[in-house]
Structure 1
Amino acid sequence: MTSDDSRSRRIGRRSYLRGSLVGLGTLSVTGVAVADESGNQCPAEEPDESEEREETEESNETEDQEEIEEQYETVVDVVEAGADPEGNESITPVLREVVGDDTLLEFPEGRYYMDEQLRVTGFENVGFVGRNATLVPATYHEFDGPQYRLFRLGTSDVPGRDLRFEGFEVDQTADETGIRVISVEVEDGLVVRNVTVRGVHDSGTWGPGLFNVTEPEGEGIVARFRAEDGAIHADETPNAGNMWRGATGIVVNPDHRGTLVFEDCSLGGFPDNGLYASNETGRVGVDGGRFQNSTTASVRLSGTTGRIRDATVVVDDDPHDSNGQHAIRLDGGDHELENVTVDVPQPNGDAIRIMNGVDSAAISSSELTVGDRPNSGIRIDPTAGATTLEDVAIDIDGSANAVRILGEDAEPVVLEDVRITGDATGTRNRHAIFCERSGCQFVGLDVEQVGGDSRRGLELRGSEYVVADSEFVTTHTPIVVNGGDDVTIEDTVGRSAGDGYSLRITSDSGAVGLAGNEFPDGVRDDR
């Protein structure tokens, strides 16, 4: 192989990866850039969303077998190399013999039994491609060596570079066969796609996938990785007593430092988290997909920057008897959520929880549906950073806050064009929006809360508020200034469907300025 040949293949591979990572434009808030043909860095463009999605899907689907093979010096048919395609003998020994740098391992149609892990570190440009291939893990009791992984490709100390893994179904429908299908630690150049895990993860070992890009400039994509049958609690497995709770669906751990996008992935209910990015550095994007019924959170992000776009997150069951299932939980960093659908008909936690470590959050063009239990739609914890909600619809039936804003001295929160509907009552939490944080703005709100037990609209407990161009229709008093100060309310409508006032100002409140409002039920001012 000449150096020119090697360079040509690498350019082809990187071009493919960049095509697959069109969604990285979504993370441009941190300065993520793509390269032009000369290799120079240039700012990521903002393509039309529909064109962006079509281009991504096309890049994922049109790369044929010949194009893939051209990116490797050596192509190995694993059956021709001696792997059993009938599922009778373990293929791991054969894979160890043939795997190597600049090598593609192709798996023709068949069933491939594995009873020990394949561990490869420090590799460069390695591929595993299934052609209608099914991987069949041994049971927990029959697995040889570490009972946690089928493929361990790179470690945090000795990562690989340029990895492709795609086109596999994993059959873990037999009892006690759940296992981590793939554990990946690469510096750059990760492509995983079209991996489907069938069957409940019932061995109590680590969940289906771990993915880290270890270099800050490195990139990776995981597309259509699916484990929709979830897992059972570790206490009900042969590994009981050795794990807390049990498997997480997809893990990104603190060794991740680059950019990683999960595209159109889907996970069922896992006893720990669903998709859990616990990294303190690096960027993680979630583009599309469906995540459902995991404990703690079905999607949980930390890191430097994260974005969730076009995804659906559902809590409609509690398969693990958990004491709290947030649909989405943000732990730290700067995050954007766009066009996200959160449906929690049986809430057992907040629909979206923004934790104290978050530096900033923005939620836009999204819909939340919260069932009849006392759980918040969006909860912003006391020291979480500046947060913006724009064009967000929340339908809430339980006696809880649609938006709960905590923290007297934290950075401001802005709600703009937020619509709140539903049959929530005032039994437990009277107000649709509860705010104790100062400096917040509420513009263009449309709040209709006419449930029983004196349901109200907005309660303000801090200072320096602006409420403008909004409309409230509630069972009881729509707006309450409860010890607030320096409050401006203008061009706003407040109607009580019961016996409340349009506005109440408590005796310990400070200055409240009113202009251009429509308050047909009057103002009760106790100052």
Structure 2
Amino acid sequence: MNRRQLLQRATMIGSMVVTFQDVLEIIAAYNAGDATLTEVLETIDAYNTRGEDLTPEEPVPHGDEFGTVIDAVQAGADPEGNEPISGILDQYAADDTLLSFPAGTYLLPPMELTGYDHFGIAAAQDERPTFVAPAGSCVNDDPHIQFAMVSDFLLEGIDFDFEREEAGGAINVIASGDATVRDVTARGNCREQITMFRIDIRSPEGVGLVENFRAQNIEDSGWMTGAYVGVRHSGEVTFQNCELSEFTDNGLYGSTPGVDDGGGGTVHTVGSHFENNNVSNIRLGTPGSSARDDTIVVESAPEAHSTNLRGIRFRRGADQVVENCEIRFGPAVTNSFGAIVFHADSGSSRVANSQITMESDGTPAVKAFYYSGEGLGGPTFENLTVDGKAGRGYAIQVNGRDGTTFRNCTIEQPGEQRDGIRVAYSEDCELVDSHIDVTGYPLILRDTTMTIRNTTFVTPDGERHIDEMEAEPGDFRPEAWV
């Protein structure tokens, strides 16, 4: 655009499109003799008043929370999706600023916005804007849009459409302070993409909220994660009322901050829905992390190089909590370590007030691998119900976990040759106030000591109630049960 076109544009639509770059160009034009002093002063005045002129005509969500609110369309964003909005985002992103997008379709090329404090991008009203990635915009596994080292950040009410051919990439929020992502959807992805969404809260005092985020893997993407929490996450992030499904490499991959040199930040899920995610639907790995009021459904496997469908996987760390969760495994699931799985490097954690419905033959509801760390390593199960018609194998299998405790638990699995609880190579375990009703052996102990109190065992061969007993392997070896 030449200088005369700049002046004509400013004259035609006023201050709505006048930027600091425009001011520099008009001054250069004046110095070259191509503009008058009056034109320079008018352009500077238009630039100085641009914020007032770009304010939405009607109140918008969160508008009273920011010092400057800019209507993106008034600022020049094309709601028909023909012209990219990267220039508008670069131009108007600023501290204490909300960019408000009316309903429409906006073309979003790959870009990064860095270092803003109290900055937001949000839908103007109830009708949702859609950000569309241009075809051919995939760049290996790089993010498509990254908000880097932002604080007090808001992203709300945006649909990300990455369904064009070879379009899109990850949505990354790398926050130096607090961050909120709310009512955001993402669909479509690049073939080489490894995650749909990433959030790190890099400050130990920072808090992140991801609420009503919905994403589904719809492409053959190899190894693809729904939501990923990065290794340097050191604050707290909560995924609330989210939906993640059909991902080939974890629905929520939240264990990475728990590595030896990781940030150690906590990850929480609340009231979220996870479905048919390979490797695990929820993966936790730092002390204090939790899954509460979540639903996990596993009926089939996404197309992946290899499959191991787990509901919740504890991977590293200890002192994590699963509470008020419901996990359902259908009969078609054929390759899974279990609905809740404790990896060898995961220590003592608690599963409470939850239900596992297991219909998959040979698949345990709970499996705890031999603990490789120091200390007891035994998980606690309270008010856990295991039902469903799975046959063969064990409902619960625990290896090398001293101090494992079952309290107020119920196991009812009528499938053929289904055993109840098997505990091996573990000392000082407890089974209290529980009820086990299976077609195989209700309790198998191998090189294990266990205190049993007020617990009933039921098999086709009869019923046995134990008021109190210090059990050893010889008391409950399978051939001695009858």
TM-score > 0.5 by shorter chain: yes
Alignment of 1:4-403 (within 5 A): 68-117=62-111, 119-131=112-124, 132-139=128-135, 141-142=136-137, 148-154=142-148, 159-180=149-170, 182-198=171-187, 200-201=188-189, 203-227=191-215, 229-234=216-221, 245-277=222-254, 278-280=256-258, 281-321=264-304, 322-333=306-317, 334-345=319-330, 346-347=332-333, 348-349=335-336, 350-383=338-371, 385-396=377-388, 397-403=390-396
How far 1:423 moved relative to its partner?
2.6
Q: What does residue 411 of structure 2 align with?
A: 420
The verdict on how the C-alpha distance between 1:416 and 1:363 changes in structure 2, with shifts beyond 3 A counting, is same
User: Once the two structures are superposed, what CA deviation does each residue of 1:369-415 show, in whole Å capped at 9, x if it has no partner?
Assistant: 112321111011111723111111111413121111101xx431110
* Partners of 1:393 and 1:420 within 8 A in 2: yes
Tell me the CA shift for residue 287 of structure 1: 0.4
Contact 1:135–1:170 (CA under 8 A) maintained in structure 2: yes
Query: 3-state SS of the aligned residue for 2:250?
Result: coil
Deviates more, 1:99-108 or 1:65-74: 65-74
Conserved 8 A contact 2:267-2:290: yes
| Alignment partner of 1:464 out of 449, 455, 459 | 449
User: What letter matches 2:349 in structure 1?
Assistant: A
**CA displacement at 1:137 relative to structure 2:** 1.1
Work out the percentage of aligned pairs sharing the same amino acid. Answer: 27
Q: Once superposed, what is the RMSD of the aligned Cα atoms?
A: 2.7
TM superposition shift of 1:305:
2.1
Counterpart Cα distance in 1 of 2:244 and 2:286? 21
CA deviation map 1:29-57 (0-9, x unaligned): xxxxxxxxxxxxxxxxxxxxxxxxxxxxx
Q: Partners in 1 of 2:448 and 2:223 — Cα distance?
A: 45
**Alpha-carbon contact 2:140-2:193 (below 8 Å) kept:** no
Question: Aligned in 2, Cα 1:202/1:123: closer, same or farther, shift over 3 Å?
Answer: closer
| Contact in 2 for aligned 1:419/1:445 (Cα 8 Å) | yes
Q: Would the aligned equivalents of 1:161 and 1:188 in 2 still touch at CA under 8 Å?
A: yes
Which contiguous aligned blocks of 4+ residues in structure 1 show a shift greater than 6 angstroms?
none
Give, in whole Å, the separation in 2 of the partners of 1:147 and 1:449: 48
Query: Aligned residue for 2:429?
Result: 440
Q: CA deviation at 1:122?
A: 2.1
Alpha carbons of structure 1 residues 367 and 295: separation in structure 2 relative to 1, 3 Å: same
Deviation at 1:202? 5.1
Query: Which one-letter code corresponds to 2:422 in the other structure?
Result: F
CA distance in 1, matches of 2:273, 2:452: 35
TM-score norm. by structure 1 comes to 0.71
Task: Give per-residue Cα distances to partners, 1:153-206, cap 9 Å, x unaligned.
Answer: 11xxxx2211000001122344443521x20111221111000224x4353313
Query: Residues 492 and 122 of structure 1: is their aligned pair in 2 closer, same or farther, counting only changes over 3 Å?
Result: same
Q: 2 CA distance for matches of 1:337 and 1:222?
A: 19
Q: Helix, strand or coil for the counterpart of 2:87?
A: helix
Instruction: Please give the per-residue CA displacement for 1:186-231, whole angstroms capped at 9, x wherever unaligned.
Output: 1221111000224x4353313321001111111111000001x324
CA distance in 2, matches of 1:231, 1:474: 45
- Rounded to whole Å, the distance in 1 between the matches of 2:276 and 2:132 is 26
Unpaired segments ≥5 residues, structure 1: 1-63, 235-244, 480-488, 494-503, 514-522
Shift in CA distance, 65/474, structure 1 to aligned 2, threshold 3 Å: farther
SS of corresponding position for 2:62: helix
Alpha-carbon distance in structure 1 between the residues aligned to 2:472 and 2:245: 47
On the 8 A contact 1:178/1:204 being kept in 2, the answer is no
Could you tell me whether the CA contact under 8 Å between 1:272 and 1:296 is conserved in 2? yes
| Equivalent residues of 2:203, 2:234 under 8 A apart | yes
* TM-aligned CA distance change 1:463 to 1:391, over 3 Å: same
* 1:69-116, Cα deviation, whole Å (9 max, x unpaired): 222222111111111100111111221111111111111110011122
Q: 1:525, 1:416 → 2: CA distance?
A: 22
- The one-letter code sitting in structure 1 at the alignment partner of 2:395 is A
Closer/same/farther in 2, CA of residues 65 and 314 from structure 1, 3 Å limit: farther
1:406 maps to which of 383, 388, 399: 399
Distance of 1:176 and 1:108 partners within structure 2: 27
Q: What is the rounded CA distance, in whole Å, between the counterparts of 1:303 and 1:335 in structure 2? A: 7
- The alpha-carbon deviation at position 148 of structure 1 amounts to 3.5
Total equivalences in the alignment: 403
Contact 2:145 2:169 in 1 (8 A): no
What TM-score does the superposition give when structure 2 sets the normalisation length?
0.78
Is the partner of 1:284 in helix, strand or coil? strand
Amino acid aligned to 1:81? A
Give the letter for the 1:389 counterpart: F
Aligned position for 2:467: 491
Partner of 1:15: none
Change (3 A) 1:222 1:65: farther
Using the alignment, how far apart are the partners of 1:160 and 1:171 within structure 2?
A: 23
Q: Highest Rg: 1 or 2?
A: 2
Structure 1 residues 80 and 146: CA distance shift in structure 2, 3 A: farther
Distance 1:77 1:368, change over 3 A: same
